[in-house]
Structure 1
Amino acid sequence: MTDPRRAVLSAAERAANAGELFGRASAALRRRVPFHSAVWTAADPETGLITAPMLVENLGSGDGCYAYWESELLEENVLPFRELARAAVPAAGLRAATGGLPARSARFRRLLLGQGVHDELRAVLRTGGRPWGLVSLFRTSEALRATDGSHSTDAPHATEAFRPDEIALLADLSGPLAARLREFARPPEAAPRTDAPAPGLILFDPSGEAMSVNDEARQHLALLPDGPSFPSPLGLKLPIWVIGTAFQARAVAEGRDHSGNARVRIRTTEGRWLVCHASCLTGPGGRPGPVALVVEPATPADLAVLVADAYGLTSRELQITQLVARGMTTAEIAATLFISPHTVRDHLKTVFTKARVSSRGELVARLFTDHYWPALPQAAPG
C-alpha cells in the first residue's frame, strides 16, 4: 500500500529553503487533502510565535491575515496553536473538535464564516517537542468557489468537513516537515559580517496602532524578508511577525497567555538573526498602556539556543560543544561538567551525527561560524 505521506515528503526534500518547502508541500498535500486556501508559516521553536517565512494562499485581502492572527492571540478560540503545540496529536479539524458547531470559536464567528469557510484543519509542525511551523487549511462553501472560479471536480462538497483520515495524515506529516524546517534554521556556511544598528523601538497604543518608531527600528525592519505586512500611521509597513509579537504582549498582559513570553527570532535578508521582544506598559491609574517592542540583533545566548534547536542538541550536548569550541580536551570537559570522559565521548559521537561532521574541527566550523562566534556565553557546569 502506498504511503500517503510520500508525495508530500518527497516534495519537501526538493525544497531549497523554508518558503519553497511550504509551496511544494502545500501543492502535494492538496492532491491528498483537498482545500481551497491555506496559511503556512514558520514558528520560533522557543515561543511558538509566527516568524518568517509565511505563505498565504488564496485568502484575498491582507486585512484578513491581520485579523486572523489578532484573533488567534487575543480572543477565546477553539484549537489555538499554543494548545495544539502541546497536544498529543498536533493536528485537528475545527468541526470535528466542536462536534459540528464551529461557531463556538470566535475565529470562525468573526472571520471565517463571513469568508465562506466551512471547516479549518490546522496543525503544528513539531519535532523534539519544539514547534517549527504552523499550518491552517480551509474548505469554503460551494457558492464561494463558484464565484471565484476555483471549483474543481475533485474538491470536497460544501458540507464535507475534514475527515479523520485527512486529519491523521497531516498529523503524521508534522514531525518530518518540522525536521526539514529545522534544517533551514541552521547557520549558513559563511555569514557576512556587517555593523548592526543599535536596538530599535516601536510603540503601539492600547488599540494596537503603531504610534512611534526610532530610526534604528526602521533600519532593522528594512532587513526583514518579504511577507504579509500592513501600513501604519508612521509611514512604514509593519511585518505580521512584528505585529504578532505585539499582539502576544497584550495577550500576556490580559492573562490570555501565561507563558510570559512575547519574543520571536527572525532571520534577515543578510542571513543574520534579529530578536523582537515586547511588553505591555502600564498607563495612568493602572490602565493598560502602550506596548513597547524592541527589535535588535540576537545575543550570543539567543544564538546558542538557536544552534541547539536547529541541530536538535540537548542542553548537555550544547554545553559540551561550547567547551569543544573553546579548545578543551575530553578530560578537561569531563572535569568541568563532573562527568566521565567516556560520557563526554558518547555525547560527542551523538553531536557529530546530528551536525553531520566527523571531527572537532568540522564541528566548530559548522556550528560556530562568524555568525555565532566568538562571543558565546560560558557553559555552566552541572
Structure 2
Amino acid sequence: MRKLQNDIERICRLGLDSRTLRSRVMARLRQDVRYDAFCFGTIDPWTLLITDDISGGIPPGNAALASHNEYLEADVDKFADLARTGRTVGILSHSTGGDPRRSLRFRTVLPIIGAEHELRAVFLADGECWGAVSLFRRGEQTDFTSREAALVRALSRPVAVALRRACVNTSPPAAQGVPAPGVLVLDNAGRTLVTNETARRWLHELGTLPLHEVAAAARAGRGEEAYLRVRARTGRWLSLWGSTLNGEPDSGASVVIQPTPVSDITRTLARAYELTAREREILEQVISGRSSTGIASALTMSQYTVQDHLKSIFAKFGVRSRGQLVARALDIPSADGEPPRTRQR
C-alpha cells in the first residue's frame, strides 16, 4: 500500500493540469488495482455535480444515461452519498448485500461496458469533494476486494488536494470574445431539442457532460444545486444553470450557459490557492480594480494590513504585481506583458 501511496503522492506534486493528472493517477493505480474500464471525473465541491471526466473502455454517448441514474434514480454508492458520509469508497456487491442486481446502475449502466463489478470512490480534502472515480471489471474477472478498496481510500486526500490545485492549471490559454448567454432545451431523455449558436460554441469548449449533469440535477428537484462552475478545456470559466420546463421533471429541462461571475471564480481560487477568508475578500477587491486605500475602507482595515495580505496573496499565486495577479486569476495577459501561466508546486 505504501509504495502505491508514495507514487501517487509524487504524481500529485508535479503541478499537472487536471486531465493529465487524472490520466497519470489511473495508469499508476492500475498496477495495484486492476480494472477493465474506468471513469474519473472532477466534481464541483459546492453542488457535487461532475464537471469533466476522462474514461477508458467506456463507449461514448452515454453521459445522459449515467447522469439520469446518478440524480434521478434511487441507487447505492452515489458519489454525493460517499462524499457527505465520508465513507469515500463503495464496492457495488458489498453495498447491495451480495446481490448487485438490486442496483439499477448494475442493470442499466454496467451492461453498456460489459461489466459486472464496480468500485466507486470520491476524493476529499478538508471536507470537500474534488473528484470521483468508477472502476469496472467484466464478469470473467474477480470482484473488487476490501484490500483494494483500502488502497483507493488511502489516496483520497492527496488526489483531492492535487485536483483542487489543478482546477487553476489549464492549457492552452482561454479564448475571449464569445457572446453570452447560451440557451438549450433538453427532453427528459437528455436529447437536445433547441439550442442557440452561442450554446453550441460554449459546448465546443465544455463537452456535453456538464450539460447533462445540470439538466439531471434540475429534473431531480435540486433547485439552486442545479448549477456548475466549470473550467472549460480552453481555460475559460463558464457557469451552467439548469431548470425544469414548467416546473415538471418529466417535461425536460432548460440550461443557460454564460461566463462565470468573478465572485464565483474567486471562491474557487480561494480553495485552489489556499487563501484565507480575508485574502479571498481582498482578491475580489483587487479584481474589481480598487486601490489599497479603497480596499482598506471597504474592509475596515489599515492600508498596512492590506499590503501584508497582498504580499501573502502574491506569494501564493507566484506573482509580483496586481496586474500579474489579475492576469493569473482570470487567465488574461497582464498589463506588464507577462502572460498568465500555471502555478507549479
* Interval containing the TM-score (normalised by the shorter chain): 0.7 to 0.9
The Cα shift of 1:181 comes to: 1.7
Q: 1:201 to 1:31 in 2, by over 3 A?
A: same
Tell me the equivalent position of 1:380.
Answer: none
Q: Any unmatched runs of 5+ in structure 2?
A: 336-345
The Cα shift of 1:344 comes to: 6.3
Tell me the equivalent position of 1:57.
Answer: 56
Tell me the equivalent position of 2:213.
Answer: 244
The Cα shift of 1:128 comes to: 3.1
- Normalization by structure 2: what TM-score? 0.82
- In 1, the alpha carbon distance for the partners of 2:307 and 2:89 equals 38
Contact 1:189 1:369 in 2 (8 A): no
- In 2, the alpha carbon distance for the partners of 1:372 and 1:273 equals 18
Structure 2 SS opposite 1:134 = strand
Structure 1 SS opposite 2:39 = strand
**1:48 maps onto 2:10 in alignment:** no
The Cα shift of 1:18 comes to: 1.5
Structure 1 SS opposite 2:132 = strand
Q: 1:304 to 1:49 in 2, by over 3 A?
A: same
- In 2, the alpha carbon distance for the partners of 1:118 and 1:98 equals 13
**Alignment RMSD:** 3.3
Partner of residue 240 from structure 2, selected from 276, 299, 303: 276
Contact 2:178 2:198 in 1 (8 A): no
- In 2, the alpha carbon distance for the partners of 1:350 and 1:21 equals 27
Q: 1:347 to 1:206 in 2, by over 3 A?
A: same
- Normalization by structure 1: what TM-score? 0.75
**1:17 maps onto 2:17 in alignment:** yes
The Cα shift of 1:197 comes to: 1.2
Tell me the equivalent position of 2:150.
Answer: 168
The Cα shift of 1:212 comes to: 0.9
- In 2, the alpha carbon distance for the partners of 1:12 and 1:86 equals 24
Alignment of 1:78-227 (within 5 A): 78-112=76-110, 115-142=113-140, 157-158=141-142, 161-186=143-168, 191=173, 194-224=176-206
Q: 1:350 to 1:84 in 2, by over 3 A?
A: farther
Partner of residue 261 from structure 2, selected from 295, 299, 304: 299
Q: 1:323 to 1:114 in 2, by over 3 A?
A: closer
Tell me the equivalent position of 1:150.
Answer: none
Q: Spell out, residue by residue over 1:97-123, the C-alpha distance to the aligned partner (whole angstroms, 9 max, x if none).
A: 333232332111333267553321111
State which structure, 1 or 2, has the greater radius of gyration over its C-alpha atoms.
1
Contact 2:17 2:170 in 1 (8 A): no
Structure 1 SS opposite 2:220 = helix
Which residue identity lines up with residue 327 of structure 1 in the other structure? S
The Cα shift of 1:39 comes to: 0.5
- In 2, the alpha carbon distance for the partners of 1:372 and 1:297 equals 20
Q: Spell out, residue by residue over 1:298-351, the C-alpha distance to the aligned partner (whole angstroms, 9 max, x if none).
A: 22222222322322334333013334562325xx75664356889767766764
- In 2, the alpha carbon distance for the partners of 1:353 and 1:99 equals 51
- In 1, the alpha carbon distance for the partners of 2:175 and 2:112 equals 48
Q: 1:315 to 1:24 in 2, by over 3 A?
A: same
Q: 1:328 to 1:4 in 2, by over 3 A?
A: same
Which residue identity lines up with residue 263 of structure 1 in the other structure? Y
Contact 2:244 2:253 in 1 (8 A): yes
**1:312 maps onto 2:274 in alignment:** yes
Contact 1:78 1:104 in 2 (8 A): no
Contact 1:117 1:140 in 2 (8 A): yes
Tell me the equivalent position of 2:72.
Answer: 74
Contact 1:282 1:288 in 2 (8 A): no
Q: 1:346 to 1:125 in 2, by over 3 A?
A: farther
**1:327 maps onto 2:291 in alignment:** yes
Q: 1:350 to 1:100 in 2, by over 3 A?
A: farther
Which segment is superposed worse, 357-366 or 11-20? 357-366
Which residue identity lines up with residue 282 of structure 1 in the other structure? N
- In 2, the alpha carbon distance for the partners of 1:87 and 1:340 equals 42
Q: 1:198 to 1:63 in 2, by over 3 A?
A: closer
Q: Any unmatched runs of 5+ in structure 1?
A: 143-156, 226-238, 374-382
Which residue identity lines up with residue 292 of structure 2 in the other structure? M
- In 2, the alpha carbon distance for the partners of 1:371 and 1:76 equals 47
